[in-house]
A and B are shown apart, each in its own frame.
Chain A
Amino acid sequence: MIPSEFDYVAPDSLEGVLRALADGGEDAKPLAGGHSLLPLMKLRLAVPTLLVDLRRVSGLRGVQRENGSWRIGALTRHADLQNRPELGIVGEATALIADQQVRNRGTIGGSLVHGDPAADLPTVFAATEGSVHVRSHGGGIREIAAADLFQDYLTTAVAPGEILTEVSIPALDGWGHAYEKFTRRAEDWAMVGVCALVQRAADGTCADVRVAMTNMGSTPVRATAVEQALRGQPLSGESIAAAAEHAAEGTDPPGDLNATPDYKRHLARVITRRALQRAAAT
């Protein structure tokens, strides 16, 4: 529980942060809320030689509505987003992250760039098909779409030396939404989580639907077979249940202490049905 020795700087500008990261080389790490990185360091699973703290950088916090999307500063804390109905699925899902102490510190940018497939926000981000802005020292702004961000377990398209500065999430006005999280304890990571977004057509059928799953693979997993099965169908209990049966198709979830791959696939089907039912009802 004692990390290896490391250096620490807290520049007061984004430029300063990017310069420090560039100077620090491969083993320099940016520090935002610290609720993923610091535990890994204490367990000595991460051993950065330099921490570049973002806390003094201004302009990376807050939420703005622009062109049908929410633009959220990367350092915006979960607590600033949780339970805000106008933010739709983002307000719903952030309220379910870990516990309040973690939500008071953890940031949306940190959660996405950490790329943990057991975390909640990457799944929401994948379902909403948002995008992020990243900056690097001497470089401009690079935009990465959700589909390209998550590459593997704890691996994203954000390169060493780059800083994720902003998250853009389509507001999806008029869509129903639900994030269902199945945990052993309230504060735990999801054994399986499902984000469901449903757009209801005037005739009551499913105009469009997005389903993404937490902890069902090495990255957030889009349940495209479910989406295809439900799109254009009536939003009835039967058709939702039938579509949800496809949830585990093509998945290869890792087994762990709490769940074998088989059990996770079973949970994915059940939780997907429940998420879709709730999303369709809102």
Chain B
Amino acid sequence: MGAGAAEAAEQREPGGNGYVGRALKRKEDPRLITGRGTYVDDMELPGTLYAAIIRSPEAHARITSIDTTAAKERPGVEAVFTGEDMGDLAAPCPMVFAPPGVEMRVPDHWPLARGKVGYVGQPVAVVLGPDKYAVVDAAEDVIVDYEPLPVVVDPEKALEEGAPIIHEEFGTNKVFEWSLAGGDVDAAMAEADVVLERRVVNHRTAGAAIEPRSFMAQWREGRLTLWSSTQIPHVCRVILSIQLGIPESTIRVVAPDVGGGFGSKLQVYCEEVLACWCARRTHRPVKWTATRTDDMLTTHHGRDQIDYVRIGAKRDGTMTGIHVKIVQDCGSYHLIEGPLIPTFSACVISGVYDFPAVKTDVVGVFTNKHTTDAIRGAGRPEATHFIEVCIDQLADELGMDRLELRRKNFIREFPNPRPHGFVYDSGDYDGTLDRCLEMLDLDAFRREQAELRERGIYRGLGFSTYVEICGLGPSRALGPNGWGMQGGYFESAQVRVHPTGAVTAYTGTSPHGQGIDTGFAQIVADRLGVDIDNVEVIHGDTETGPFGKDTYGSRSMAVGGEALARAVNKVQEKAKRIVAHKLEAAPEDIEVAEGAYRVKGSPDKAMTMAEIATEAYIPADLPDGMEPGLDETSFYDPENFVWPFGAHACITEVDVETGRVDIVRWVAVDDCGPAINPMLIDGQIHGGAAHAIGQALYEQVVYDEEGQLVTGTFVDYALPTAAEIPWIESDRTETPSPTNSLGVKGVGEAATIAASPAIVNSVIDALKPLGVTYINMPLTPMRVWQAIQEAQGRGAGPRATEQGRALDQQGRGSAGSGPAVPGDGGAS
């Protein structure tokens, strides 16, 4: 990247009102917290048919017959449809990751199953009727006969010879194999004095947004409108066009208030396409809203990687290389981009460390479980987890201090090209760690830890120093000729000043709880010199503003914010020319300050935006050749990703009798460039850390060996509550990115990517005196207790299940075990 950090800082336009950088309260909150939000399920259209979906109770089976007669005869049932009725769909559900030169196995995936089911919960038929309760009763009258087939839920077993094949047409359960490397990893391991090997299991989790998915479709006069609880209305419209075989110009997709997504609504779901198809077929509005159990069954899951990690190092701590084989459980069918996810692990495999050689081998696997796809962090939490846990393991192996090992290998020069082709834009890894340690008081903790151990109280401290890749993204890198995503990853913005000087800003991003309305309004108000209350930010409707690329991958500010800043600059530029013309000055002599456009040096000669807008819309005296209006659009495709980073520290206390882990303190120092609104950043850090704490200590999607989902409600899927989440002591450093003129990096996923290894490292630190050296997530009381028992040489009885099988059968990567050995089933 050409521009350095200092240059980027200079490009920042302070603007007129100083809104940027202030911790303004969220504009969207009064509405949302007083119950005046409008979610899809709040909307009613006359004549709506409600959908009840018949789902497969089998994890793997042939459908031998479907009898809809009884259901159709029930009063109040308008129609019943099965997969056979949907032959007019133009295409199955698409999967958009097609890396060049890689054989990618993509089974036909239809909104309603055709002939076969591959996971429990797969939609098989739909009942439509005007009463949302009656259709649920009627659904019980749809009789589906299944011929069960052998089930495989463990991705490593699915790769073994003789495993049940889920999609016969492929003759294998392997989805794809793919490698990304740079430098000579074999040589790196050969020259290493120590090669640390671990098998790290990153278990399956759910996005668990507070608002379950909801879709309402209307077909009128040849036009389709879909109201969807989605993160991606623009992408959804393209996909509906492809699947329904109708032009985008006849489709409108609206994302009204959306109650969280965390990646789980970065998707176009079977039920979404189904609602649209049913609306077209019946000419009635059709609505479907997920129950929590629908959501747990069929909203895509995340993580579910098994990572075979090797790190080579010299005795002095110099790390020579890292090699990871990732086994990614893809589930039985793909949704929009599931197989892409481990690629994001590969992107950040170098972490914050100056590895001269890196290599990631990925093998994706079909299993009889639901699809995995992007959940907050999407591949980067998995990578940070195995890197940061293994760095601690390596430090122990070398007998080195954990922080000394980190610092010895920190990257310190930026922009920094990594061996596998990525360029870290900017960073100061010592800076965030220094600040973290300052807040933590390490010496005081070590004294306290020793004193408490005397009294039988076990406390530990763990760190995570991380970097992540976000701001998706440069289309040349991500797109068809790069990674192979079949799309562009630019963002759009349109800024319209109205005749009275009020401003509407349209963004192609589709925020759903992040506070982007506020952050974007700050940028607009700042640069245009208007009051922030006169700025409305509009998003989530394909009929307003230009085509956009929605919200995911921590892209809204770094890509959408930059697109917006560029559109605002165009408006400002035109406004200055109007002012210069009216006040008889040169455009370059006009400055925006204190809410006005002033002639430099003559502050009494000034115009407000309202006055300028009047000139623009009553074009009686505009500069020669200038078009009327004050309305500008920008499309921005970034040159590089952005790379946020930071240091998290976690103190835990372990009840060694029961295995219960409590978090005593959390210190987070993150750097996402100059803050647009520090309060929004704090919110993302707190929520992001909570998300990772959930995975590390509480949450796990569990299937049994028959492929039945065991965690179908929040009773069993242990989402942490406010009572479980500690206060997050957060602070920032601000290292601008040279990638965009705002200098900003994304922050929505950063803390989720950072946090889980800090907990695991902390618990291992606490239990070291008892001989525990390694433990996989989630650190449930039973698993921690079992680890202690094993380390103490006591049997602990049958083990908890993990990945659908007993842990003791697994025998690797558990407490006190030796180095892991990568299986033969891994990628080449």
A residues adjacent to B (C-beta < 8 A): 1-2, 4-5, 43, 99, 182, 184-189, 191, 257-263, 266-267, 270-271
CB pair B136 A2 closer than 8 Å: yes
Q: Given the interface contacts A2-B136, A182-B658, A185-B724, does A257 sit within 8 Å of B702 by beta carbon?
A: yes
Query: Per-residue CB proximity of B673-714 to A under 8 Å, as 1/0?
Result: 000000000000000000000000010001000000011010
The range of chain B's interface size is 20 to 34
CB pair B657 A260 closer than 8 Å: no
CB pair A263 B785 closer than 8 Å: yes
Cβ contacts under 8 Å, A1 to chain B: 291-293
Q: In the assembled complex, how far is the CB of residue A249 from the closest CB belonging to chain B, in whole angstroms? A: 17
Interchain Cβ contacts under 8 Å between A and B, 13 examples:
A2-B132, A2-B291, A5-B133, A5-B137, A182-B660, A182-B781, A184-B698, A258-B782, A260-B798, A262-B797, A263-B786, A263-B796, A270-B658
Cβ contacts under 8 Å, A99 to chain B: 721
Q: Given the interface contacts A184-B718, A257-B711, A258-B782, does A263 sit within 8 Å of B797 by beta carbon?
A: yes
Cβ contacts under 8 Å, B702 to chain A: 257
Smallest CB gap from B293: residue in A: A1
Which residues of B, 772-828, contact A by the 8 Å Cβ criterion? 780-782, 785-786, 796-800
CB pair B657 A270 closer than 8 Å: yes
Cβ contacts under 8 Å, B33 to chain A: none
Q: In the assembled complex, how far is the CB of residue B192 from the closest CB belonging to chain A, in whole angstroms? A: 40
Q: In the assembled complex, how far is the CB of residue A87 from the closest CB belonging to chain B, in whole angstroms? A: 24
Cβ contacts under 8 Å, B797 to chain A: 260-263
* Known A187-B721, A257-B711; 15 more pairs at CB < 8 Å: A1-B291, A2-B291, A99-B721, A184-B698, A185-B698, A185-B720, A185-B724, A257-B702, A257-B710, A259-B782, A260-B798, A263-B782, A263-B797, A267-B658, A270-B658
The docked-state distance in angstroms from the alpha carbon of A188 to that of B716 is 9
CB pair A186 B785 closer than 8 Å: no
CB pair B658 A186 closer than 8 Å: no
Cβ contacts under 8 Å, B721 to chain A: 99, 185-187
Cβ contacts under 8 Å, A2 to chain B: 132-133, 136, 291
Cβ contacts under 8 Å, B723 to chain A: 185-187
Q: In the assembled complex, how far is the CB of residue B759 from the closest CB belonging to chain A, in whole angstroms? A: 15
The docked-state distance in angstroms from the alpha carbon of A270 to that of B723 is 23
Q: In the assembled complex, how far is the CB of residue A8 from the closest CB belonging to chain B, in whole angstroms? A: 14
Smallest CB gap from A256: residue in B: B716
Cβ contacts under 8 Å, B785 to chain A: 263, 266
The docked-state distance in angstroms from the alpha carbon of A261 to that of B713 is 23
The docked-state distance in angstroms from the alpha carbon of A254 to that of B136 is 33
The docked-state distance in angstroms from the alpha carbon of A263 to that of B807 is 15
Q: In the assembled complex, how far is the CB of residue A120 from the closest CB belonging to chain B, in whole angstroms? A: 16
Q: A186's contact among B291, B660, B724, by CB below 8 Å, is which?
A: B724
Q: B137's contact among A4, A184, A261, A270, by CB below 8 Å, is which?
A: A4
The docked-state distance in angstroms from the alpha carbon of A5 to that of B711 is 26
3 A-B pairs with the lowest CB-CB distances in the bound complex, closest first: A262-B797, A1-B291, A186-B723
Cβ contacts under 8 Å, A261 to chain B: 797
The docked-state distance in angstroms from the alpha carbon of A186 to that of B718 is 11
Q: B796's contact among A188, A191, A257, A262, by CB below 8 Å, is which?
A: A262
Smallest CB gap from A191: residue in B: B781
Q: In the assembled complex, how far is the CB of residue B287 from the closest CB belonging to chain A, in whole angstroms? A: 14
The docked-state distance in angstroms from the alpha carbon of A99 to that of B718 is 15
The docked-state distance in angstroms from the alpha carbon of A262 to that of B785 is 11
The docked-state distance in angstroms from the alpha carbon of A1 to that of B133 is 10
The docked-state distance in angstroms from the alpha carbon of A188 to that of B780 is 14
Smallest CB gap from B801: residue in A: A257
Q: B800's contact among A43, A182, A260, A271, by CB below 8 Å, is which?
A: A260
Cβ contacts under 8 Å, B136 to chain A: 2
Smallest CB gap from A261: residue in B: B797
The docked-state distance in angstroms from the alpha carbon of A218 to that of B797 is 22
Smallest CB gap from A270: residue in B: B657
Q: In the assembled complex, how far is the CB of residue A212 from the closest CB belonging to chain B, in whole angstroms? A: 19
Cβ contacts under 8 Å, A262 to chain B: 796-798
Query: Per-residue CB proximity of B720-745 to A under 8 Å, as 1/0?
Result: 11011000000000000000000000
Smallest CB gap from B659: residue in A: A263
Cβ contacts under 8 Å, A258 to chain B: 780-782
Which residues of B, 202-218, contact A by the 8 Å Cβ criterion? none
The docked-state distance in angstroms from the alpha carbon of A150 to that of B170 is 56
Q: In the assembled complex, how far is the CB of residue B208 from the closest CB belonging to chain A, in whole angstroms? A: 14
Cβ contacts under 8 Å, B715 to chain A: 188-189
The docked-state distance in angstroms from the alpha carbon of A75 to that of B798 is 42
Q: Given the interface contacts A257-B702, A262-B798, does A184 sit within 8 Å of B133 by beta carbon?
A: no
The docked-state distance in angstroms from the alpha carbon of A199 to that of B205 is 48
The docked-state distance in angstroms from the alpha carbon of A267 to that of B784 is 13
CB pair B698 A257 closer than 8 Å: no
The docked-state distance in angstroms from the alpha carbon of A266 to that of B718 is 22
Cβ contacts under 8 Å, B720 to chain A: 185
CB pair B657 A184 closer than 8 Å: no
Q: In the assembled complex, how far is the CB of residue B228 from the closest CB belonging to chain A, in whole angstroms? A: 20
Smallest CB gap from B289: residue in A: A1
Which of A2, A182, A186 is packed against the most chain B CB atoms within 10 Å? Answer: A2
Smallest CB gap from B785: residue in A: A263
Query: Per-residue CB proximity of B124-164 to A under 8 Å, as 1/0?
Result: 00000000110011000000000000000000000000000
Q: In the assembled complex, how far is the CB of residue B824 from the closest CB belonging to chain A, in whole angstroms? A: 31
Cβ contacts under 8 Å, B800 to chain A: 260
Cβ contacts under 8 Å, A188 to chain B: 715, 718
Cβ contacts under 8 Å, A5 to chain B: 133, 137
Smallest CB gap from A187: residue in B: B721
The docked-state distance in angstroms from the alpha carbon of A51 to that of B799 is 43
Cβ contacts under 8 Å, B710 to chain A: 257
Cβ contacts under 8 Å, B658 to chain A: 182, 267, 270-271
Cβ contacts under 8 Å, B657 to chain A: 270
Cβ contacts under 8 Å, B133 to chain A: 2, 5
Cβ contacts under 8 Å, A191 to chain B: 781
Q: In the assembled complex, how far is the CB of residue B129 from the closest CB belonging to chain A, in whole angstroms? A: 13
Q: In the assembled complex, how far is the CB of residue A242 from the closest CB belonging to chain B, in whole angstroms? A: 16
Q: In the assembled complex, how far is the CB of residue B591 from the closest CB belonging to chain A, in whole angstroms? A: 56
The docked-state distance in angstroms from the alpha carbon of A237 to that of B638 is 67
Q: B781's contact among A43, A184, A189, A257, by CB below 8 Å, is which?
A: A184
Cβ contacts under 8 Å, B292 to chain A: 1
The docked-state distance in angstroms from the alpha carbon of A1 to that of B292 is 8
Smallest CB gap from B713: residue in A: A43
The docked-state distance in angstroms from the alpha carbon of A259 to that of B713 is 18
Q: In the assembled complex, how far is the CB of residue B458 from the closest CB belonging to chain A, in whole angstroms? A: 15
Which residues of B, 97-148, contact A by the 8 Å Cβ criterion? 132-133, 136-137
Q: In the assembled complex, how far is the CB of residue A245 from the closest CB belonging to chain B, in whole angstroms? A: 13
CB pair A184 B780 closer than 8 Å: yes
Q: In the assembled complex, how far is the CB of residue B531 from the closest CB belonging to chain A, in whole angstroms? A: 41
Q: In the assembled complex, how far is the CB of residue B309 from the closest CB belonging to chain A, in whole angstroms? A: 28
Q: In the assembled complex, how far is the CB of residue B700 from the closest CB belonging to chain A, in whole angstroms? A: 9
